[in-house]
């Protein structure tokens, strides 16, 4: 399960584009904390720390312990915006959560057990169909990832979502089983060698009617030929 992030934030006294640009010049980015029947709280968070967290994994599934002027707020990062050209973080939305909160999140999937799959051992190709699944989970107990095992899978088998081993309190949002991994036969190699040239003189040509001259295929004689 996710361990969470600790974050210190400042209350934003001003909002708007001008204030946001000023924050970014000073190494911060605007954010807001909302939810739990409380008014939105505009905050400013450190750009570098947030960027490292974004690319470090678990950005949207870890619980954030946010210290805002000495007040601790527990939240999940629910959305973020990036500058379209330079791809820099420009804004983050946080959702207040408690131990009783349940949220819907996308959790990564990892494939295990390939060394125990007869299909994979005999040359089959392990194809991962889905890389994340949508689950409903306690906000403070979201799994970092879910494992799908292909141990025992034969060539041609498909592993469905109902084979996932879900932690207590975690459920899939899709009730109908769907494919996660398939074990397919290897694709036959196509030869790069070109086919041998066919000798045109050795090819039998069959005419559908009469001789060639009657079809006008024979060259006309030159009347001036001596």
CATH of the domain at 169: 2.170.120.20
Flag whether the pTM goes above 0.75. no
How far is residue 17's CA from residue 9's CA, in Å, rounded to a whole number? Answer: 19
- Cβ atoms within 10 A of the Cβ of 41, count? 19
CB 76 within 8 A of CB 106: no
CB 113 within 8 A of CB 149: yes
Among 97, 128, 143, the domain-final residue is 97
DSSP 102: E
Region of residue 27 (left: phi > 0; alpha: psi -120 to 50; beta: else): left
Number of folded domains in the chain?
2
> Do 61 and 9 reside in the same domain of the chain?
yes
Characterize 216-225 residue by residue with b for buried, 16 or more Cβ atoms within 10 angstroms of its Cβ, and e for exposed. eeeeeeeeee
Nearby residues of 203 by Cβ (< 8 Å), 6 or more positions away: none
DSSP 51: H
**What would the two tokens of residue 5 be?**
């992030």
pLDDT in tens, the chain (226 residues): 456 799 999 998 878 888 888 888 899 999 999 998 899 999 999 999 999 999 988 899 999 999 998 899 999 999 999 988 888 999 999 999 998 999 999 999 999 999 999 999 999 999 999 999 999 999 988 998 999 999 999 999 999 999 998 999 999 999 999 999 999 998 765 555 555 555 555 545 444 444 444 444 444 444 444 3
Q: Is residue 86 part of a domain?
A: yes
Give the 3-state secondary structure of 122-175. CCCEEEECCCEEEEEEECCCCCCCEEEECCCCCCCCEEEHHHCCCCCCCEECCC
Domain span at 39? 5-97
> Do 161 and 133 reside in the same domain of the chain?
yes
> Do 107 and 78 reside in the same domain of the chain?
no
> Do 136 and 88 reside in the same domain of the chain?
no
């Amino acid at each position: 399960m996710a361990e969470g992030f600790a974050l210190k934030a400042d209350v934003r006294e001003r909002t708007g584009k001008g204030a946001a640009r000023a924050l970014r010049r000073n190494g911060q980015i605007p954010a807001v904390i909302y939810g739990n029947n409380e008014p939105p709280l505009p905050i400013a968070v450190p750009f570098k720390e947030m960027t490292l967290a974004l690319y470090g994994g678990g950005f949207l599934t870890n619980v954030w312990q946010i210290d805002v002027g000495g007040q601790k707020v527990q939240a999940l990062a629910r959305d973020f915006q990036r500058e379209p050209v330079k791809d820099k973080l420009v804004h983050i939305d946080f959702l207040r959560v408690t131990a009783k909160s349940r949220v819907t999140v996308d959790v990564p999937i990892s494939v295990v057990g390939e060394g125990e799959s007869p299909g994979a051992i005999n040359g089959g190709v392990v194809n991962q169909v889905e890389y994340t699944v949508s689950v409903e989970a306690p906000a403070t107990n979201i799994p970092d990832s879910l494992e799908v095992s292909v141990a025992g899978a034969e060539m041609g088998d498909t592993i469905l979502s109902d084979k996932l081993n879900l932690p207590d309190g975690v459920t899939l949002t899709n009730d109908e089983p769907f494919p996660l991994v398939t074990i397919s036969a290897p694709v036959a190699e196509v030869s790069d060698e070109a086919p041998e040239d066919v000798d045109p003189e050795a090819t039998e040509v069959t005419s559908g009617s009469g001789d060639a001259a009657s079809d006008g295929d024979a060259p006309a004689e030159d009347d001036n030929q001596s």
